[in-house]
Structure 1
């Protein structure tokens, strides 16, 4: 059921974002924003009924070429197309998910002090952190292991939420990155478990998840509010551990404003 709903919501959301005038259609006399189903079907050279069934998440025969044509009409990015491919065709088989963090990775994170650093899975489960991360980001040891997840904390932990400057932008960014990692992962169940838990516990998450944004970012900027109310700015970098696919070291570097 989750797969069918994800396909439906993703296609509807992205269809609504396309300007009909980009394809020579008038924007007048439309009950909804964006392209109509029949317009997507026409532009992608598929039948209207077939596209309707696809958008409804039905089990129909789908070729990669047809899905790419639809993605082109909907103006999907490479990451968004990969996410749609994953929803339709599933994840490729791969090695079992790494259950333990390599000792060398933990030693590296410890050696990065006084800079905050931590280790997490692609689904944003937090696995290990150094003392600087505990002091400047969050002390994950204070919460149940099942909630040690960056995305969960943004929505269900008031203390963590208060530390995030421009929380809404950070939350939307995290959801978009989560979707991108989900598309690339070979272990969908780890992501779906997070989504199911958050959907049951946070109405705001359900609303933001429905936006269907996808964006893969391996580096960027972060602003955190300390206990004295001061805003501290960092750049961060995410590095995947080659010997443990799906596990990442996240490194924060303070920057001057």
Structure 2
């Protein structure tokens, strides 16, 4: 069984394996997928000489894919036929290169071939998404929202995040480091002790997903050196996926605010997290956040207030 997914950004339908698809169904889809991708690549695009007689079908021939990928013609034919053969990541990457597969298509090829897919990557054409993400978090006003990278460094935040969470230029601008070292945030957070364990456990999950990433090691070394509380929690070995966290904050002007933070991922930008804060019904939080974003509220927060 083949499931048709919603169209992608190019308007084309994407085919994904159905939940619980059998090995036979996956092989059939592998054959269809490779044939369709092969038909998209012209000999000229693959660097082959122009000419060579009339072609019965568009795109590359199987033999040409095999030569360009550095594999045997029979082996590639068996792969496209969905036969029970041994495949390796190196060979699949060679085929993906010849067929000019996108990052998403390359991961799809791995799944269809029965291998664990590689980690998501940022496609070059998706690196300019930050303007759209800026519009997203600005539209979330008057509620706090920010975007951080995989190492928890701030990428951007909206005005409410600055007013409510204290995000500003004179701190480290790393969500993990600032959680444990920023006196302003700590003085405002009534749920700091309860949330600290969750923050550390979620960072461990992020580190575990990229064990050889030097960036995580650098942040871990930095926060361990400056916070004994973090070091003690890290030693407890707790691990937890990103999700929702309840935050209780004592704002110096608006008073008690109760929000729920939700961490979202953008598949096209796996290097970024979107963190949206939603007001809960307690303490009239929504009304207070709207007031803080109003002209009167802005005047009330123009000058630094202790805490």
User: Matched residues in 2 for 1:187 and 1:225: separation?
Assistant: 39
User: Matched residues in 2 for 1:215 and 1:255: separation?
Assistant: 23
User: Matched residues in 2 for 1:189 and 1:208: separation?
Assistant: 21
1:185/1:246 contact within 8 Å kept: no
User: Matched residues in 2 for 1:123 and 1:95: separation?
Assistant: 15
For structure 2, the 5+ residue unaligned runs are: 1-117, 283-307
* CA displacement, residues 66-98 of structure 1 (integer Å, 9 cap, x when unaligned): xxxxxxxxxxxxxxxxxxxxxxxxxx6663799
2:200 aligned to 171, 175, 178, which one? 175
Alignment of 1:23-172 (within 5 A): 95=121, 102-143=130-171, 147-172=172-197
Secondary structure at 1:119 match in 2: strand
1:241 aligned to 236, 256, 266, which one? 266
* CA displacement, residues 13-57 of structure 1 (integer Å, 9 cap, x when unaligned): xxxxxxxxxxxxxxxxxxxxxxxxxxxxxxxxxxxxxxxxxxxxx
Which structure is higher in RCO with an 8 Å CA cutoff and minimum separation 6? 1
Q: 1:100 to 1:125 in 2, by over 3 A?
A: farther
User: Matched residues in 2 for 1:244 and 1:220: separation?
Assistant: 23
Give the C-alpha shift of residue 162 in structure 1: 1.1
Greater helix percent: which structure? 1
Q: What RMSD, in angstroms, separates the aligned Cα atoms of the two structures?
A: 2.5
1:225/1:231 contact within 8 Å kept: yes
Higher Rg of the two aligned structures: 2
TM-score by length of 2: 0.48
Give the C-alpha shift of residue 251 in structure 1: 0.8
Instruction: Compare 221-230 and 104-113 and name the one that shifted more.
Output: 221-230
User: Matched residues in 2 for 1:111 and 1:187: separation?
Assistant: 36
User: Matched residues in 2 for 1:94 and 1:234: separation?
Assistant: 31
TM-score by length of 1: 0.57
1:215 aligns with 2:240: yes
1:94/1:186 contact within 8 Å kept: no
